[in-house]
Amino acid sequence: MLDQFKNPFSSKYKNTWKVAANELTWLLRSIAVSSQINVDKEGNAIINHLFEDTFDLRPSSAGERSIEYDVVSIITGFLYHDIAGGNDLMKVKGNWSNQYSKKDVEWKANGDKIIEEGMKKWKEKMEQDRLKWIRETE
């Protein structure tokens, strides 16, 4: 950690800076997201997601979070909680839904296969057109 303090912009600390620069790291960190999917009889799907977390900038007590998070939290948590008196009981809550039609689900499940088949048909069509052009120009 002393080396990081002496050389904060060294490339070997880029992961630490990525964590520090991402605001979602500070709001959400590593939290559990509960998801529930509902599929109707037509095959359309709605996925509802929900999470709740306590907003604190303390490093993990038993290494549950990444070392990069803990290193940054040692400094920012001290400044936010201990110096500035920031509340460590504040809750962060979120919920959102994703909707997918039956066609969306089929595309997500079989997209690679669909593209592969389309490319094969396209290649065959190009070859047919090439041969037709050769016949017509002879």
Q: Kindly report, residue by residue over 72-82, the tens digit of the pLDDT.
A: 888 888 888 88
Q: pLDDT value at position 5? A: 67
Return all residues near 46 (Cβ < 8 A) that are at least 6 apart. Answer: 37, 38, 97, 98, 99, 100
For residues 63 and 129, membership in a common domain is answered with no
For residues 29 and 84, membership in a common domain is answered with yes
For residues 7 and 75, membership in a common domain is answered with yes
Cα gap 73→52, rounded to integer Å: 20
Q: Which token pair is 30?
A: 């590593």
Query: Which residues on neighbouring strands pair with residue 37, listed in sequence order?
Result: 47
For residues 22 and 70, membership in a common domain is answered with yes
Average pLDDT, whole number, for the chain?
86
For residues 18 and 67, membership in a common domain is answered with yes
Position of tokens 């509960």? 34
Cα gap 65→82, rounded to integer Å: 21
For residues 52 and 79, membership in a common domain is answered with yes
Identity of the residue numbered 26: W
For residues 128 and 73, membership in a common domain is answered with no
pTM for this prediction: 0.52
118 burial via Cβ count (<10 Å: 0-12, 13-18, 19+): exposed
Q: Kindly report, residue by residue over 110-119, the tens digit of the pLDDT.
A: 999 999 999 9
| Domain boundaries, position 23 | 2-100
Confidence of residue 30 (pLDDT cuts 50, 70, 90): low
Confidence of residue 16 (pLDDT cuts 50, 70, 90): confident
For residues 130 and 77, membership in a common domain is answered with no
pLDDT of residue 85 exceeding 80, the answer is yes
Helix (H, G, I), strand (E, B) or coil at 94: strand
Position of tokens 């904060």? 8
Q: pLDDT value at position 49? A: 97
For residues 62 and 117, membership in a common domain is answered with no
Average pLDDT on 73-97 reads 87
Least confident interval from 10-24, 49-63, 71-85: 10-24
**What's the domain count of the chain?**
2
For residues 131 and 82, membership in a common domain is answered with no
